Amino acid sequence: MSDKKIKIGIIGGTGLDNPKMLKDYQEIEVDTPFGKPSSQLTTGKLGDKEVVIIVRHGKDHLIMPTKVNFRANIWALKEAGCSHILATTACGSLRQEIKPGDLVFIDQFIDNTKHRILTFYEDKVIHTPMAEPFCAKLRGLLVESAKDLGLSYHSKGTMVTIEGPRFSTKAESFMFQKWGADVINMSTVPEVILAREIGICYQSVAMSTDYDCWKDDEEPVTWEIIVERMKQNADNVKNLFLKTIPKIDFYDCECKNTTSEVEV
């Protein structure tokens, strides 16, 4: 175990932003060089680990995906001392075997966004290796915990992130399947990229809520369906985090040593 300080950031949403899940919690307003983050930071302890929670779309879910200040959110967690991030996200399933209610521990992404700032670095060129964008060590711990809890999960999957706020057309949904995507959302990119740029281990926990719109015998996705299924799954993810976070005992990781700098 490393003697460097471990602090866990949670990027949460519906059902996962309750400060009462933390002991001795405090709510802190912060600012960053990139503006205000989506919400205040909630800090506290979960077992023997220090935890910081931020709510990606704001406390009342009023920030649409394109308008999320991803740079401020990740920077705020870094400045708060976070060494690892567990990020929850709703997703649509592009595969028959990934059923609504299943958890997917993402290992790859496809960027289909169009209007987002993808880097912290605007005054110099930074080439960040992205072959393995998510933290394999965190993913392994989550898989172990999900198995122990008897949850329905998939140990890996490719996420395609679209711009939103609209949902996909059926033609797009079929196209993403052919690209090799397993699930679809509006938030993983650029979050995972920014975390890697500044050396934070990042792992996404995706909660399947629907079959997007490709499946003719299923109702096409609506926001109401997503919210209801996120609420249903919130306890599973909370229990997953309660079991996993105390196991996080590593600091040194490939995630923290992957930025290659070229100035032009």
Any domain includes 23: yes
Token digits of residue 81: 């001392």
Cα-based angle 88, 109, 263 (whole degrees, multiple of 5): 110
Any domain includes 204: yes
pLDDT score at 221: 74
Distance CA 235, CA 229 (A): 11
Domain that holds residue 42: 7-261
Which one, of 212, 10, 230, 208, lies nearest residue 103 by Cα? 208
Which residues participate in the annotated binding site for substrate?
A: 186, 210-212
Exposure b/e, 217-247, CB count within 10 A at least 16 = b? eeebbeeebbbebbeebbebbbebbebbbee
Per residue, the 3-state secondary structure of 152-176, as one string, reads: CEECCCEEEEECCCCCCCHHHHHHH
Residues annotated catalytic, as ranges? 210, 212
Q: How are beta strands 260-261 and 49-55 bridged, if at all?
A: unpaired
pLDDT (tens digit per residue) in 18-29: 777 788 899 999
- DSSP secondary-structure letter at 66? G
Any domain includes 249: yes
pLDDT (tens digit per residue) in 215-228: 988 777 787 888 78
Kindly report the average pLDDT of the chain as a whole number. 92
Could you tell me how far CA 216 lies from the centroid of its own chain?
29
Contact, 202 vs 191, CB < 8 A?
yes
pTM of the predicted structure, to 2 decimals: 0.94
pLDDT score at 174: 98
- The answer, yes or no, to whether residue 263 has pLDDT greater than 60, is no
Mean pLDDT, rounded, for 10-39: 87
Any domain includes 49: yes
Any domain includes 40: yes
Any domain includes 2: no
What is the number of structural domains in the chain? 1
Mean pLDDT, rounded, for 225-245: 87
Which residues participate in the annotated binding site?
A: 14, 56-57, 89-90, 186-187, 210-212
Any domain includes 1: no
Q: Mean pLDDT lowest for which of 20-24, 48-52, 238-242?
A: 20-24
Contact, 75 vs 61, CB < 8 A?
no
pLDDT (tens digit per residue) in 70-112: 999 999 999 999 999 999 999 999 999 999 999 999 999 999 9
Say which CATH number the domain at 238 has.
Answer: 3.40.50.1580
Any domain includes 56: yes
Q: Which amino acid is at 235?
A: D
